[in-house]
Structure 1
Amino acid sequence: MQNKALSKTLSYVLRHKPEEFGLALDAQGWVSVAELLRALQNQRHEVTPEQLNEVVATNDKQRFSLSADGTKIRANQGHSVAVDLGLTPITPPELLYHGTATRFLASIRKDGLRSGSRQHVHLSADAVTAEAVGRRHGKPVVLTVQASRLHRAGGLFYLSANGVWLTEAVPAEYLQAEDSCRM
């Protein structure tokens, strides 16, 4: 299995549908590497431990983590299944960024950013990363999140193991779009 295909499969299994592979994540989202490899093999995905380690180490978004002893694996964020990643709320920088497609702006203007089927809204520390995220969904737009202001108003922020900022929601009044796409 190619690394990109394996990464997508791992995201599906570890973030969204472990039960489709006969797996159950523990409360923190971990699953045994041995069980995962068996489950992938049962679904006709031939993956070696070395391939799995390579995908974890080289994934450009650092989506996955191995436990310190290398016996367990989990996704760093993006779950639609309930897990407790053990993240501690921290003070965010003044501004964070969210990349999306222009077709979603009307809904965002009305409702702000919501986690939808996931546990958190994902935010980036820089506009370049946010634009790349938005481009995956269509014509990109970068929203500036007044994170410090939202934090002072009671919003909780977390920083995942791969540097993605997480929060439950961002009300519209804490968002600004690029000049060409006024909120």
Structure 2
Amino acid sequence: MTLNDAELSRAVSHALRHEPWLYELEMDEEGWAPVDQLLTSLRERGGSWGSVDGDGLERMITNSKKRRHELDGDRIRALYGHSVPGRIQRRPASPPQLLFHGTAPETWKVIQSDGLRPMRRQFVHLSVDRETAVKVGRRKSASPVLLVVDAAAAASDGTTFFEGNELVWLADCVPARHVRAAD
């Protein structure tokens, strides 16, 4: 049995985003962990995991449609989606004019008064296009509400944004006045 990229991506995401201590990873304040620590931990699972190597990690990252991870020399990190305790440090960036967020209809009612909050994650996740936001929203509801975020106005009012990757932007929170349902 061979390990496929999707299985490897799920395991790497779990290790870097949610429970690095289970993999005995020493992550820095920006979420970087040594590749050799990650590989050692994955190989200890046995079976097809025993053959995981740096080339496999590179292939998984290169072939990924969602670009969740990045390599830099002998270190690796998840680009977004962290639920680890403590705060992953990110560099602020200027967002595009509009961003999008998909959510369940019942959650939209709360967002209208409280704004977008990160919930169990470190940041609010926003999409650069409607299609991605709807896909994300379908994880919560068969009929998600598509929200439009006036990111430029929110940034002008003091909301800090961070680029996750080319499809995902992050924010600490977005005030309700900058969020509306799509037409």
TM-score by length of 2: 0.87
Rounded Cα–Cα distance in structure 1 between residues aligned with 2:104 and 2:11? 24
CA contact (8 A) 2:129 2:167 kept: no
Is 1:21–2:23 an aligned residue pair? yes
1:120 to 119, 123, 127: 123
For 1:163 and 1:106, the matched residues in 2 are separated by: 26
How far apart are 1:100 and its partner, in Å?
Answer: 2.0
Asked if residue 31 in structure 1 is aligned to residue 33 in structure 2, the reply is: yes
Q: Identify the residue that residue 147 of structure 2 maps to in structure 1.
A: 143
Partner secondary structure for residue 66 of structure 2: coil
1:43 and 2:38 matched: no
Give the 4+ runs in structure 1 shifted more than 4 A. none
Equivalence for 1:154? 158
Residue number among 70, 75, 79 corresponding to 1:76 in the alignment = 79
Aligned partners of 2:159 and 2:20: how far apart in 1?
Answer: 30
2:30–2:89 CA contact under 8 A, matched in 1: yes
**Residues 151 and 99 (structure 1 numbering): CA distance in 2 closer, same or farther, change over 3 Å?**
same
Equivalent AA in structure 2 for residue 55 of structure 1: M
Change over 3 Å in CA distance of 1:161–1:96 after alignment to 2: closer
| Counterparts of 1:26 and 1:90, CA distance in 2 | 21
Corresponding residue pairs, total: 176
**C-alpha contact 1:63 1:77 (8 A) present in aligned 2:** yes
Q: Is 1:108 aligned to 2:111, yes or no?
A: yes
**Gapped runs of 5+ residues in structure 1?**
none
User: Are 1:53 and 2:58 matched, yes or no?
Assistant: yes
Residue type at the aligned position of 1:132: K
TM superposition score normalised by structure 1: 0.87
Instruction: Give the aligned partner of residue 8 of structure 1.
Output: 10
